Chain A
């Protein structure tokens, strides 16, 4: 028996399950009642002493969230395991097929992964109080297995020392201008969930010919969607084709010479849910961390320190950041990503060679 499962296999199986259960909803498990950080839960979590969070959010922010949790609940160490969402997905798949249960809580920038994990039945239904009370329906799983921890955009960006605002690209089409040849940096959908999601939305709305032309532009190919903004800040490239809006915000806070561009075609919107696993080695700490992740405190932290967007209505967007509702975005469709993920990776590698 081979241990490598395929997302497509899982989906094939899952569609039939969905079809057969649609009319059987009365016996379908609904979301469990909301949970809050009770003294009993805290004590049990402290007994476990640690929680392991696999995430694809940029490392300094991930560690800041971890440190804030540790300060709030002393005696529970958070270990952040950060990699690209596609790597995290691969890692969890590999670990689970070898019966290694190391992960407690997961946060992925490819929301499609949660479809697979849910279908695999490895996520634990658990609804934090904040999610139940405040989160809009489209940002939480009806069965209570995950909710949108963070939202952001995949944007264009440029280095303001190297490019004048009037010369900066305004649209994805502008990036195909020969003047940007050899001056752009781009992240990889085989590593980054953000880029995977963005590539899906752009291929759907702009078509693959856009990427075929982009591949002729001699782009510098990096892995993480957190890296293009960093390469701009170093002055290594003038323009980023894609990458995290929130990293650009963070860098602007540090007075780095970078600027965000929302493409006129619309910016891909990325949703990064958080969920916990049934086989979590530290189940109570996992629950406590999940509860904490959706509190106004944590959500305001990811907005203020991280430059991310929060769907918690009690958070305040930072002054100077354009509101999400005022930005033209492409439509998100995790189910579409789940269906086409492998094909997108294969096509991308053919075009960009790596």
Chain B
């Protein structure tokens, strides 16, 4: 015991410093946001911004549109994801691992890239699907099957890349429901579907509700897809409106006021989700039992699989195909043939486009730094909270989770307001983006590592400390090696998240600090679809390389979420 006290335990000041850093990350931008929202151009107090927000149709309409989109998306996601989650987790669906992998694929596909790919597929006249429709039916050149530049089109595309959130929640819950209860139902004479209706569905209901809320949240805070699809159709959502308020002449005060409802709604929804999921405990009383018993689908096995594959056409196969086609075609709306095959697009992106190299470099620097910093922050915070190591550990846990309630675009606005003025002028540097990405990625990283820590028994650390190690030493020599897989998975997960981040980056980039996602967005505004396809496929290739690396270590992707951008 004497030896233990002889070395100064660095953990207390270090943790205090951590708490300060976390506080600064969140408090500074949110304070400026609140300040701007109640001031006018001259800096005097006013409530005029909020008044304009609820009276000016130019602002009110996007708010209503956004809420409608979010509600519809949430419903669609539940209708699609719940049966699929059940099929994959609780039935003898063939190739269920492949279906899960495909859902992961749509999970990691950046939604803005999916939106652009769907422009290629379902623009009313030039879209490949509409062309095919006209060719098959002989319909006139005016008719079309789909119009992606529409409210419906936008809801569809958002749903494509939001349903994995619901799927993951539902499937994970169903995976964990023990077979006993269902067995009991069968023994008492319940047929397969009666069992599903009376046992499985009620047990999965909290997860589904939580999924619905998460889907609502994602759809509400999404920036890329509406900017790409809604603007050509002539309407705004809340996120695109906030962004447009920053264009010349910028109206920062109004933007701040418009960002606050998004923030408050997010906080409220997350609280609701927490409440619902918090009750989930009752459903698995009895702890671990045998493998869940799989429902035999019989003759429906293959039709069910085909249904799943058809669903997966929308977020994965069709968009990837369209991007691949546009990469090698002289005209993005023409199917590749011997006549119009070209390597020019690839050549252009890699040898002529002078922004490619810089954007790639910035993306990698930010990805690696963010992943490393987030993982470190998350390791320490998760350690402190799971081991209850210091007084006030709850505050630390709260601080690490709090950014989850800040939508990317709101954080972007807040950081922009905070760091373009003294005392901290970080605008124009990679630092401001680093701060944004760390703040955005921290909650998920923390959540994932917290789960990891729970699997390492505290006895091992205590043994080390009894033998004289300080807390940090025992963390470094005992806990860290045991946690290696979780740490690698978290790192990869954050890296992938940074690659696809757009909504905060779009507010914060300068020409020197452009990242790939912003470059793709820029190219979309000038209609350079072929260049986007090349960059998009490259982005997907890097993402998959990282995901595959992470998947080699267990524990990736379970219950954590990438944020929509």
Contact = CB atoms under 8 A, between A and B. Distances in A.
A41 interface: no
B234 A82 contact: no
Contacts of A54: 511
A172 to B, nearest CB: 20
B420 A3 contact: yes
Interface string B168-188: 000000000000000000000
A234 B126 contact: yes
User: Chain B contact residues: over half helix, strand or loop, or mixed?
Assistant: loop
A59 B353 contact: yes
A78 interface: yes
A332 interface: no
A190 interface: yes
Contacts of A103: 511
B428 A95 contact: yes
17 contacts: A58-B526, A63-B353, A95-B428, A100-B428, A100-B512, A102-B510, A103-B511, A219-B234, A220-B149, A222-B232, A226-B527, A227-B527, A231-B126, A254-B330, A349-B58, A354-B230, A354-B234
A89 B249 CA distance: 10
A253 B523 CA distance: 22
A235 B333 contact: yes
B425 interface: yes
A340 interface: no
Contacts of B191: none
Interface in B490-521: 510-512
Interface string B105-136: 00000000000000000011110000000000
B510 A191 contact: no
A226 B526 CA distance: 6
Most buried by A among B58, B244, B512: B512
A180 to B, nearest CB: 12
B332 A234 contact: yes
Contact of A89 (B230, B248, B332, B333): B248
Contacts of B252: 4
Nearest to B428: A100
Nearest to A64: B352
Contacts of A91: 510-511
A342 B348 CA distance: 36
A170 interface: no
A100 B234 CA distance: 34
Interface in A221-267: 221-224, 226-227, 230-231, 233-237, 254, 256
Given A91-B510, A98-B428, A191-B525, 14 more contacts: A4-B249, A91-B511, A94-B510, A100-B427, A100-B510, A102-B428, A218-B234, A221-B231, A222-B527, A233-B331, A236-B333, A353-B236, A354-B230, A354-B234
Nearest to A218: B234
B358 interface: yes
Contacts of A79: 354-355, 358, 511
Nearest to B42: A2
Contacts of A272: none
A83 interface: yes
A162 B141 contact: yes
A271 interface: no
B455 interface: no
B285 to A, nearest CB: 53
B141 A78 contact: no
